[in-house]
Structure 1
Amino acid sequence: MTVTPQHRDHTGDEPDGTPTGPPPAAAPAASGPTVLDQMGGPRGFVYSSLPVVVFVAANTFLSLPVTIGVSVAVGLALTVLRLVGGERVSSAVGGLVGLAAAVGVVAWTGSAKDFFVIGIWAALAGFVVALGSVLARRPLTGVVWNLVHGGTHDWRADRAVRRWHDIATLWAAAVFGARFVVTEWLYLADSTTGLAVAKLALGTPLTILAGLVVVWAFRRTSTRLLGKDGS
């Protein structure tokens, strides 16, 4: 008896639908968000910089009370724009709270340069905390990594891991220290415009660089202790 060979359709599958051709190529893995993306991207830089520029520019031509009013109005407009754009309420409102605190200090002291005083002392506090954590052999970025991953890892017992976090935390301390030294010097020199330029130059750009070092330490730690990429 002659056996008739089974017919395959044009797709190369068996008659019962079982695929026989090569498997489809896997889609490339999507890359994770960059440090700049996590900070809000270019728009985040604009949102953080515009109130500073507006305050200094307005203070050049207007009285201090009017400058405060203009700054708050711009801050409110930016907050609404960010909320309409789908940003988280905490991020959008957080910027407005920071601006309100800064102009509140200005209204209290009557000095335009005090718009930057909170940032100056925050930089000093960040420097002290970051450097102190390294001196205490508990670098801050390592503490944060452990908390993010359940808080159960003995990461300090691994010399390589602790060294990576020493580097990352010291880098953060250097950024905070540079901000404090430069802005405090400009503050004592009564240079409001210089303070604005320093805030922009030492703000997002240095934060991105520090963030890259922290991400590097996080990923190397995750690869070593968890056996996977920490991205």
Structure 2
Amino acid sequence: MSQALLDGVGGPIGMVCSTLPVVAFVTADAFFELPVAIGIAFAAAVALTVWRMRRGEQFMSAAGGLFGVAAAGGVAAWTGSASGFFLIGIWAALAGAVVTSASLLVRRPLTGVVWNAFHGGGHAWRRDRSTLLAHDVATLAVTAVFSARFAVSQMLFNADATGWLAFTKITMGTPLTVLAGLVVIWAFRRSTKRLAEPGEDRAARDQATRDQATRPA
């Protein structure tokens, strides 16, 4: 499971390539004006994209970091602050925390909604207590990652601590994503085993779920 998740974020090369432009930007910002630092970060992202394409990666896979650096650099130039380079990530973390928290409050944990959509949308997954609990845990893990990223990054943004923002982006980026992703994969596998596997066991589980739903409180 961990290998599949690692491949999903681009493997070790993708993890390194996502951090190098950030390091280049912060380093350059310590010695040059903001426009020059943005240009150096963008140049680093372009070089990494070309290198990954020469290794045989598809353009959209290789250029994902390039688009992100271009957007972050645009926001930094618009705000006139080096800390603005990290503003999109801060907003994204806030949005993710709000969406996942809301899904828990309405008792439709987002990971369960996604799992059900991937499996045809016809499973009564919310009636199966074990499955619902698994997705509560998985969605809560994702919420915790988003919330922690936003809280820490927003505090550093308000303090205009560009170097620490870069450190936070690196340490709370891919590593925490992988950890939360492992919990989500566990919930997906548990749901599939209980509700989506073919055969008599699935029919028995579906009947047990229906009986549980109609049983008087």
Bucket of the pairwise TM-score, normalised by the shorter protein = 0.7 to 0.9
Of 65, 75, 98, which residue of structure 2 is paired with 1:95? 65
Moved more, 154-163 or 191-200: 154-163
Of 135, 146, 168, which residue of structure 1 is paired with 2:105? 135
SS at match of 1:74: helix
Task: Measure how far apart 1:110 and its partner are.
Answer: 1.1
Q: Structure 1 segments of 4 or more deviating over 6 A?
A: none
SS at match of 1:34: helix
Give the alignment's TM-score, normalised by structure 2: 0.87
Give the distance between the partners of 2:50 and 2:106, measured in 1 at CA: 43
What residue number does 1:4 align with?
none
In structure 2, the CA distance between the partners of 1:184 and 1:32, relative to structure 1 (3 Å rule), is closer
RMSD between superposed Cα atoms in Å: 1.4
1:107 and 2:77 aligned: yes
Aligned AA for 1:48? S
Of 18, 21, 42, which residue of structure 2 is paired with 1:51? 21
Task: Measure how far apart 1:81 and its partner are.
Answer: 1.4
Aligned AA for 1:122? A
Give the distance between the partners of 1:133 and 1:82, measured in 2 at CA: 37
What residue number does 1:16 align with?
none
SS at match of 2:63: helix
Larger relative contact order (Cα-Cα within 8 Å, sequence gap ≥ 6): 2
In structure 2, the CA distance between the partners of 1:32 and 1:176, relative to structure 1 (3 Å rule), is closer
What residue number does 2:182 align with?
212
How many residue pairs match? The answer is: 198
Task: Measure how far apart 1:34 and its partner are.
Answer: 3.0
Give the distance between the partners of 2:2 and 2:24, measured in 1 at CA: 34
Matches within 5 A, 1:134-213: 134-213=104-183
Task: Measure how far apart 1:178 and its partner are.
Answer: 0.2
In structure 2, the CA distance between the partners of 1:101 and 1:152, relative to structure 1 (3 Å rule), is same
Moved more, 166-175 or 81-90: 81-90
Task: Measure how far apart 1:227 and its partner are.
Answer: 2.5
Aligned AA for 2:73? V
What residue number does 1:124 align with?
94
What residue number does 1:63 align with?
33
SS at match of 1:207: helix
Task: Measure how far apart 1:149 and its partner are.
Answer: 1.3
Matches within 5 A, 1:220-231: 220-227=190-197
